[in-house]
Amino acid sequence: MSQIMDHGYHSHSHGNSAHSHSHISSQEAVKLYDPKKLANKGVRITWIGFCVNFVMAVAKLIGGVVFHSQSLVADSVHSFSDLISDVLTLSTVKYTTKKPNESYPLGYGKVETFGSLMVSAILLYAGLEIGFGSLFSIIGPYLSTATAKVMHALPFHDHSAGLDDLGSSAVADSLQTADINAAWLALGSIIAKEWLFRATKKVGEEMNSKVLIANAWHHRVDSMTSVVAMVTISAGYFLNIYWMDSVGGLIVALLVTRVGISGFFQSFKELIDKAMPRDDRRYMDIEDAINVHLMNMDRNILIKQLDVMPSGTNMNVVLKLGVSEFNNKYENQLTLNKMGSIAEVLRGTIIKDFHNVKNMSVQFISNDEVEEIPEDNRKENEIREKSMELKKEHKERRRRRIEMYTA
């Protein structure tokens, strides 16, 4: 039987990931979004960016409806998604930073994860709704009334294109070219985003803040959807091509849908406690730190298994320790006090070194304990072993070539 010393059970990105909308952690949010610290240049430019983005998102939404531009409406949805994600993170800071207790031993990180799941679901629906509407605006004039009725019965259909009338009014709305004023709004958004990029980047460089510099580039990347909207609106207006704006709306809607799908599945995986991949930088940092501490405490103790589960901005860590299978003699010398001391020190130092690690489970397992390796882990280990063998073969061939040329 294995001897187990259990010392608690511990557990995010924008992440990580394509275009991520959860791009501020709890610690960073407290510093950069604290309204009481507006005297700080970093806090001030962050709030300016938030307010400018809010004004532009509202303006693009109203302008998109008034000027009949689907690409501008889609762009506004994309802008609102960033704002909602930031508000979500800020509103859950007081929960995610709480310490675990008897009622919630894993902490409150899943509050943010659940919120992210809801935001991603809304994004996904909005992207499909706008994308479907844009698609209908392109192909609507070529559809029969019967086909239009079938499309109207689907859960995602265009309300603005006149599908409820299904007759000539739907075709007429589909053939309507977006007003050129919508392009001016898109251009204003591009200029505002570029100014935010330069101003935020300047402050970030002055303060040597990687977070502010990352936010600056986030402003520039977000302006790309406004560029798509401006180009398609202008082209449709000047070339009198009614479907150009719809093409822009479809492109932006696909981007929004992609972000929604990515965020939804990432949040869902966190909710069901999917372990972090081993090539994740956070995983490797924790693994390296544990190995360093083990080397200092007892070189005979090895990591048998390490699982890191994201939970919002927090992390749960499950660590299993043991000795080498070739060192069974030392395993018999381990006492409960020795194992308990190592577990307690490891747990304390890791939680101290990594502020996002709120809870950690440390267990000792015996070499006599036979654990069934999950199929996914077995395949992963096989791939890793084959990769290591190929690298060894490559090094060996290289060594032989060097010896041949130097002989």
Arithmetic mean of pLDDT, 61-87: 85
Q: Is pLDDT above 60 for 293?
A: yes
The angle, 0 to 180 degrees and rounded to 10, between the axes of the packed helices 210-238 and 181-207 is 160
On the CB side of 362, CA atoms within 13 Å amount to 21
pLDDT tens-digit readout, 93-105: 666 667 777 777 7
Can you list the domains of the chain with their CATH numbers? 26-271 (1.20.1510), 281-364 (3.30.70.1350)
Please, what sign has the CA dihedral across residues 300, 301, 305, 310? negative
What is d(CA 264, CA 116) in angstroms, rounded to the nearest whole number?
A: 7
pLDDT tens-digit readout, 168-201: 444 444 456 788 898 999 999 999 989 988 998 8
Q: Is pLDDT above 80 for 7?
A: no
What is d(CA 316, CA 336) in angstroms, rounded to the nearest whole number?
A: 24
- Nearest Cα to Cα of residue 143 among 181, 179, 171, 184: 171
Q: What is the mean pLDDT of the chain?
A: 75
Q: Which residue has the higher pLDDT, 374 or 73?
A: 73
Q: Is pLDDT above 60 for 27?
A: no
Q: What is the pLDDT of residue 55?
A: 92
| Phi then psi dihedrals of residue 110, to 5 deg | -70, -15
pLDDT tens-digit readout, 301-327: 888 889 998 887 788 899 998 887 777
Q: What is the pLDDT of residue 151?
A: 62
Arithmetic mean of pLDDT, 51-63: 91
Q: Is pLDDT above 60 for 230?
A: yes
pLDDT band at 159 (very low <50, low <70, confident <90, very high): very low
What is d(CA 145, CA 151) in angstroms, rounded to the nearest whole number?
A: 10
Q: What is the pLDDT of residue 150?
A: 65
Arithmetic mean of pLDDT, 326-344: 81
pLDDT tens-digit readout, 376-388: 555 665 665 666 6
Query: Among 122-126, 172-176, 286-290, whose mean pLDDT is lowest?
Result: 172-176
Query: Among 37-41, 151-155, 185-189, 250-254, whose mean pLDDT is lowest?
Result: 151-155
pLDDT tens-digit readout, 261-282: 988 888 888 888 888 888 888 8
